[in-house]
Structure 1
């Protein structure tokens, strides 16, 4: 009855493992729970049997394991085993008993801690070979049926009992990673159950525990569960170095988009996936570094401009040097398709538009293509009255307003003319002081034009000459008053 219950419970565990295995995956940090099924070969050392290293007398069994991933270095596993230890009739006597035989059905449950050597320090976690050490503690239930002969007579005593004892085990194993889904393994452990009567014989007058057995396991391991893969690229989030890869993009083993030419631009974004290039050009090469991809560059080995399709343009006229018949055209000159100046004179004044400051008004070369002042204005500017200031001040005298108003009228009449104002001072005071005073006087005149008459300040240039350019002797008050002045000149920029 005891043996039947033991077989039934372990048989149910085997059926559970067979149904669970097909949907499982290899155990890892991504799938922390694992399931193992295995066969075992067992050799024992008892009081009447000593063939622990003799494979020819092995007893066969099987079992399953439930494993939990703890870290790259450690796993925790529960192993459930069933096997048979037996010995046919042995002649001779031992401890006053003999000949003897026994048949022992055993079930064990061991909780073991596994030390993995493929932990990323000694071997890679995904290495093909996965060596490990294991040690643990558990329980052994032995259903022993023994026939013991006492003395030299033929009478035998039947021993039939069940024993539940602690079990200690330690050993080593080697895993073989077949795919990411499946691993094979082989493991050997030495087991010490805390009993000395696995064969039904307990030696008298001793507390020594003689019984032990060596168990060799050969099986297959699967993982349980499904790894998290947020971007759906087939690489779990734990191992994915590029967790936000767009759907449908091919990735490498680290979960990053493929980059066939190794230029740092993934193939799905690389417009030149077979040629190393730069990110700025979407993965396309640019040998001359001018910012124009080689496939669009008509001069791929000479830096150029986008306007000339990657070719040099020394004079900057928009015509590539290789096509430029006039390679030294001044900057800003309008050119034709050959890079030569385009001669235009819209107003027909004999001054080409490229140098004509008034291209739509006929003028003269002396005036840079602009019309000159009419006779009255020209005569006035040739003898323009000087304006004067208070002593030691940059304050205009009221007598100066008429001159300023007339010049303001001409600035509005001739919008292509600008005005230069030169300030002056008498000799009283230091050179530095008079220089500053003359500049302030020129600025005071400018302020009249800009503030009172609305003339743009961009059309007026001021300068100061201090006491350097007197128009009268500084030896009299009248002479000094004439030297405190501002002078004006109209010009075309």
Structure 2
């Protein structure tokens, strides 16, 4: 019994030192058991008394019938075949000092046995579990004292208690049937500690390579050995942010500010904002991030850094579009004031009195004062366009008069643009020659009126 105690202590030590997993199966195909065996000839057929006493009679009478060698006396080595089956070989030694109720003279006992075994573990528990009964069948050879060696047919009933997934306590009873009557039929009981090994776990994650989809990278059983570095339940190969715990709807990435935009796509991951501004806040809703908006509480275009455009003159035309930003005007006139009726009267009156001598394009000095007033009008309305009309009387040919009237109009333009602030782009020339007389060309006075330049508003 001291030997059995030592076996249990050894098993406890092994359990404390092992942490990996699997019973004897495809991952850990090799199994070894060391233990103590007991030989008992009594509970078999009653045909050879006092050596035997009937099948299973006094089966547990250890004191009177069992032969136990007080040391490790049995060794089993087996390999998993598949589907719960294993094939193994067991060697045993013992000393027989009693055959049933009859004494014996310390007969040497040797046995070598082969056995097919079938585990009921998965049938009872589902896959795995600590409770592992098994059945075995096979045959062997026995050597007892001076008797000739003889073969036996064996049947085994056993149970293993898995202390971890690599170590177990194994209890078994085997009936060994000798076919010749003068040979000894007997029971052999074994108590041992079993170990399984042989699985390969390259990455050391407790999942053997055969079942590990990522055999060279430590992982978790949930993903068949593949890693989930951030522990968010999404394996790294499908996780867009494998080192930061996230949410399935964002492919494993977090949404720290809860704005519905994953941090890896959020330009402001710690401050909630709309998708239109890539997750950054936009208080005034103008599409410009607050961090870039010079007017974060007042909507304005991005072209103006998020600020509304100014309208200094308050005419409803923004300064950026207002050609007269400091003078109120109309939208139709690009923000500049329109030319009112009094100005038109001035143009139609005074500007029609710029007169010229016969066959001359030189402005009379008497018209300078009129032209100076016209220059002020042009400067007052920088957005207005004026047409300078040149006219002639009917003397000379029409072609000549066209050229003369054009030169007269040009002399007026030259005079006006010589004044500071007058923009020549506001003035255009139109030559009419003798086509639009305002008086008969039959008198000197009429022809004088027809030799003129007039400004009109376009």
Question: TM (normalized to structure 1)?
Answer: 0.49
1:359-438 matches, cutoff 5 A: 365-366=331-332
- Listed as ranges, the matches of 1:278-427 within 5 Å are 279-280=250-251, 282-285=253-256, 287-292=258-263, 296-297=268-269, 299-300=271-272, 303-306=274-277, 309-310=280-281, 314-319=285-290, 324-327=296-299, 329=300, 332=301, 334-336=303-305, 339-343=306-310, 352=318, 355=321, 365-366=331-332
- Structure 1 residue 71 and structure 2 residue 68: aligned? no
**Unmatched segments (≥5 aa) in structure 2:** 1-13, 43-47, 337-382, 389-458
Partner of 1:445: none
CA-to-aligned-CA distance 1:420-446 (integer Å, 9 cap, x gap): xxxxxxxxxxxxxxxxxxxxxxxxxxx
Q: 2: distance between equivalents of 1:66 and 1:341?
A: 88
SS at structure 1 position matched to 2:210: coil
Q: Which residue of 2 aligns with 1:179?
A: 164
Q: Which has the higher helix share?
A: 2
1:167, CA displacement in angstroms? 1.0
Residue of structure 2 in register with 1:30 after alignment: 27
| Aligned residue number for residue 66 of structure 2 | 58
Q: What residue number does 2:119 align with? A: 116
Pairing 1:163–2:133 present:
no
CA–CA distance in structure 1, aligned partners of residues 279 and 267 of structure 2 = 14
Report 1:9-20 matches (<5 A): none
Distance 2:247 2:97 in 1: 71
Structure 2 CA distance for partners of 1:244 and 1:366, relative to 1, 3 Å: farther
| Alignment partner of 1:84 is 2:84 | no
Deviation at 1:115, TM superposition (A): 0.9
Instruction: Provide Cα deviations, 1:95-145, integer angstroms capped at 9, x if missing partner.
Output: xxxxx96764332222211111223x533554223221112122223334x
SS in 2 for 1:122: helix
1:108–1:354 distance in 2 versus 1, CA, 3 Å: farther
SS in structure 2 opposite 1:70? strand
CA distance in 1, matches of 2:34, 2:247: 50
* Matched residues, number: 301
CA distance in 1, matches of 2:281, 2:287: 13
Counterpart selection for 2:135 from 133, 136, 139: 133
CA distance in 1, matches of 2:225, 2:332: 75
**Could you tell me whether the CA contact under 8 Å between 1:277 and 1:285 is conserved in 2?**
no
Shift of 1:264: 1.6
The CA RMSD measured in Å over matched residues stands at 4.8
CA contact (8 A) 2:310 2:319 kept: yes
Instruction: Note the alpha carbon deviations across 1:310-362, whole angstroms, 9 max, x for none.
Output: 556633244499x84334x5xx56445xx5403389xxx996465579x9xxx
Consecutive unaligned residues of structure 1, counting only runs of 5 or more, are: 1-20, 92-99, 145-161, 199-210, 377-493
The answer for the alignment partner of 2:209 in structure 1 is: 237
Superposed CA deviations along residues 23-43 of structure 1, whole A, max 9, x for unmatched, are 9x9744233222221111222
